[in-house]
Amino acid sequence: MIFPRRLEAELLDHLPADDPRAMGSRRDLKRVNSWMRNAACMASMLRKYAGRTPRTIIDLGSGDGALMLAVARRLAPHWQNVKVILLDQQNIVTAATREGFAALHWQAEAVSADVFDFLANSRKVDIVTTNLFLHHFTDQQLVRLLAATAEYAWLVAACEPQRAKFVIELSRMLWAFGCNDVTVHDAIASARAGFAGNELSTLWTSQDGWELHEHGALFSHCFVAKRAGDERMISP
């Protein structure tokens, strides 16, 4: 039986970027993302559904950009000269991460802004990606956010926590693998606020003409929306 979504405040969202606990948690998240295989899942979805090389990708809630860099490393042998906009409320993208993108012949631009303001006031792109971001929003906010991405891009791909009891129980054990208290708290909160079944597809209220794909993958929940027959490169 699937239990209802429950949103809770996550500690990392409210700690200063230079707080030692926040810095430790961001290091933990790199390991957690690796265990969840989110970079591999995201790269696989983009290769499968994009159809061709995009010019511009925007990654919502990108944090320090490490996850998207891992995705780019998987895609770079096939996709060249891609621009990635790393959108987050805090600009914590390091010089090393920017250099990592540059080494792949990708251009990275870090932007600090509210996601709704940004989507309402920026030019269209080809692809929108999100990793462990959508679960922060209520269903009502997600209807608005997903509708905005549908106006903004022709492909939307998301990796989110899978809302399942076994994921919550595994999250409780992260301390045994060296993760700090912020990471453990936020992992449990994320799992409770995650997704199951076709919940994101149900919240996708855009008109006909979209292909929706949604499935579970290990500890993650994956979602793709593609405008049917629309693989043109929108961005300049």
The domain limits of the chain are 11-227
Mind listing the pLDDT tens digit for each residue in 148-202? 999 999 999 999 999 999 999 999 999 999 999 999 999 999 999 999 999 999 9
d(CA 223, CA 216): 9
**Assessment of whether the complete model's pTM goes beyond 0.85:** yes
pLDDT at 30: 84
pLDDT at 97: 95
Asked whether the beta carbons of 66 and 30 are under 8 A apart, the reply is yes
Say if strands 210-217 and 220-227 run parallel, antiparallel, or are unpaired. antiparallel
The topology under which CATH files domain 11-227 is Rossmann fold (3.40.50)
Q: With bands split at pLDDT 50, 70 and 90, how would you rate the model's confidence at 230?
A: low
CA distances from 46 to 8, 16, 71 (A): 30, 33, 9
Mind listing the pLDDT tens digit for each residue in 65-81? 999 999 999 999 999 99
pLDDT at 235: 41
Helix, strand or coil for residue 84?
Answer: strand
